[in-house]
Structure 1
Amino acid sequence: MQVENQNDAKEEVQPEEEDFEEIEKLQTVGINVSDIKKLKSAGIYTIKGIWQSTMKTLCGIKGMSEAKATKVKEAANKIQDFGFCTGAAVFEKRKALKKISTGSKEWDKLLGGGIETLSITEIFGEFRTGKTQLCHTLAVVGQLPPEMGGGNGKVVYIDTEGTFRPERIRDIADRFGVDYHAVLDNITYARAFTHEHQMELLIAVAAKMIEERYSVLIVDSSTALFRVDFSGRGQLAERQQKLAQFLSKLIKIAEEFNVACVITNQVVSDPGGGAMFAVDPKKPIGGHIMAHASTTRLYLRKGRGEQRVCKIYDSPSLPESESIYQLSKGGICDVND
């Protein structure tokens, strides 16, 4: 994948070696083509995708019996083993991790280099804090070569609120000196209308990622449709279960295809928080389900004028800290830019 500079064509980037095994390899260990097509119909396109699916899921595929599902699992094990390994092996695998720039050097510094692949990064905050602007910025930066802080791949953009604007992509592309026509062509966009549609789009993503290199998967926002489709405490348990399934699928895609999954989230006022003299009583939607699924959680809040503040709300490797950034015509940037 290559995005050309408006003035000069960038050097040809060598295609990267993919870390996944395509599901067609099952033919080499006795699985017929018809059964492979059945797996693909359920959104399973890699050997790892088989291991990420339960027996219940496999048996739920039309035409897939328990005996066939067991045979598929055994065949997958012959091709790629996902059992125990050493910590050293995990360390080597983590070297494939990439960090994609947010457009702000200070924000990148806060994150230790940028938004990580192989994980879910949750961005939450009230309106006009820059959540969607970050998504638009990443939709451009994700396509840039690594030396420009990019991920050298296409971008998936699932829009649940109707806030995607191609005009913003043009402005951000101009800032980075790349052809906005090419940038827009490399964004795979879909507008989701229900939480079920949102899940179906996520399942369809795997088919695209097996064919071409993608670096970022954006869902803006991840919780809006769940809040609309499920109302009241009576439906809360079902909503949380469906949300958990969606987030589980998202992290599997992140690990399967080495992409950065970026989701935005809404906030709600917590009356109890104000009573306890909290500085900011707002809290993200999704409860513990969202908290456990997201690898890195970033809280955005308003500052002075167009300035905004990003705080590390939760991370397995980053200390709690803050950085200041700014919203501009060219997307997310530093205050002094």
Structure 2
Amino acid sequence: MATKAKKQKAAQREDREDAETTVSECHDVSALEIEEDESCFQDIDLLQNHGINVADIKKLKSVGICTVKGVLMCTKKKLCNVKGLSEVKVEKIKEACQKLESGGFLTALQFSDKRKMVFRLSTGSKELDKLLGGGMESMSITEAFGEFRTGKTQLSHTLCVTCQMPGSNGYSGGKAIFIDTENTFRPDRLRDIADRFSLDQGAVLDNVLYARAYTSEHQFELLDLVAGKCHEEAGIYKLLVVDSIMALFRVDFSGRGELSERQQKLAQMLSRLQKISEEYNLAVFVTNQMTADPGATMSFQVDPKKPIGGNIMAHASTTRISLRKGRGEVRIAKIYDSPDLPESEATFAITLGGVDDAKE
């Protein structure tokens, strides 16, 4: 009888442990998984074996260049601008990096194998996930644009929670980084969304790293800190949100006289975002604002509004999603541009628990 009671107690304990799924449990990533994530990049410290001194490596780390791939992604001109690095030193660093990682050609089959590392994050809505081919893709920039109240910020908050949950294809969950340019981030929204998925509120909030950007320059500087954090906790950060990408550029650069400078700085920031997403295997989600198109009346367009940022923004984003209002809490998402997804639409709803499927 005693053994039977012990067995029943053990079974009850196991059931209770299974039911109490917390986010902290989602992050018990095995050593093997972390090793796999680390294998996607080579640490810059390896350059010591090729004659590069520790002081020069520290100088590179101070500007957010923490991997061998990160060095190869930078021009010699940019590296020469790092305080204390001469042209001769830069040449030596570049040569050492080329020995460690070749930036040459791959066959499509080899590249296909590399693409197996790409994961997808759930948006909270099955219909929206289906539209995106399974969810928000890593190693790329996904841009959502629309008028106010179309769900851009709500989608950002929902992703910060869903990225922490284990998903399909062996995805184990991870942490999120949120760069806020419009003071729209609300931790209480994360609490509500955590409740919807029966997750521990404290753990969910603890796994989101937040920064408020006040100028476009500050926004760019924060990306160096993002690279540092991703390097520090290898394979832990899975999502980077910038809400919104263009707001501060709109303020800091005004008029046609400063337009070319604005677009140049924007291009540099988007290039940095793309490199970070590939370097550390992150899903980058950015939101964008709309503007009235003064030339639309001449071309008889149905919708006279367009996303800001021009061609620079259009070419940098891998997948662009257009959001618009529907009836009540319903919103409509449309694939505006994508290299591999067909142009189609999906409906979703904004609920207390974040982005969800629309009820018919």
TM-score, structure 2 as length reference: 0.90
Match for residue 89 of structure 1 among 102, 110, 118: 110
Structure 2 SS opposite 1:327: strand
Q: Is the 8 A contact 2:145 2:288 kept in 1?
A: yes
Match for residue 42 of structure 1 among 53, 63, 67: 63
Q: Is the 8 A contact 1:175 1:330 kept in 2?
A: yes
Judged with a 3 Å threshold, the aligned counterparts in structure 2 of structure 1 residues 316 and 151 are, in CA distance, closer, same or farther, namely farther
Per-residue Cα deviation, 1:201-251 (whole angstroms, up to 9, x for no partner): 011111100122111000000000000000000000100000001000000
Q: How far apart in 2 are the matches of 1:149 and 1:100?
A: 12
Once the two structures are superposed, the pairs formed by residues 1-337 of structure 1 within 5 Å of their partners are 7-8=20-21, 10=25, 12-14=28-30, 15-16=33-34, 17-18=36-37, 19-147=40-168, 152-212=173-233, 213-336=236-359
Q: Which amino acid aligns with 1:88?
A: L
C-alpha deviation, 1:67, in angstroms: 0.5
Q: How far apart in 2 are the matches of 1:336 and 1:314?
A: 27
Name which of structure 1's ranges 292-301 and 278-287 shifts more when overlaid on structure 2.
278-287
Percentage identity across paired residues of the two chains: 60
Per-residue Cα deviation, 1:264-308 (whole angstroms, up to 9, x for no partner): 000001132244332212100000000000000000000011100
Q: How far apart in 2 are the matches of 1:69 and 1:13?
A: 37
C-alpha deviation, 1:150, in angstroms: 6.4
Q: Which amino acid aligns with 2:29?
A: V
Which residue number in structure 1 is paired with residue 9 of structure 2? Answer: none
Q: Which amino acid aligns with 2:302?
A: V
Q: How far apart in 2 are the matches of 1:242 and 1:43?
A: 18
Higher gyration radius (CA): 2
Q: How far apart in 2 are the matches of 1:184 and 1:8?
A: 16
Per-residue Cα deviation, 1:26-68 (whole angstroms, up to 9, x for no partner): 0111111011011111210000000010000111111100000
TM-score, structure 1 as length reference: 0.96
Judged with a 3 Å threshold, the aligned counterparts in structure 2 of structure 1 residues 160 and 149 are, in CA distance, closer, same or farther, namely farther
Long gaps (5+) in structure 1: none
Q: How far apart in 2 are the matches of 1:145 and 1:40?
A: 31
Q: Which amino acid aligns with 2:187?
A: P
Q: How far apart in 2 are the matches of 1:277 and 1:103?
A: 37
Q: Is the 8 A contact 1:20 1:46 kept in 2?
A: yes
Structure 1 SS opposite 2:104: coil
Which residue number in structure 1 is paired with residue 6 of structure 2? Answer: none
Q: How far apart in 2 are the matches of 1:54 and 1:151?
A: 35
Q: Is the 8 A contact 1:120 1:295 kept in 2?
A: yes
Q: How far apart in 1 are the matches of 2:248 and 2:113?
A: 38
Long gaps (5+) in structure 2: 1-16
Name the structure with the higher helix share: 2
Per-residue Cα deviation, 1:73-109 (whole angstroms, up to 9, x for no partner): 0001111111111111110000000010110000000
Q: Is the 8 A contact 2:21 2:199 kept in 1?
A: no
Per-residue Cα deviation, 1:1-20 (whole angstroms, up to 9, x for no partner): xxx99834547432331210
Q: CA RMSD in A?
A: 1.7
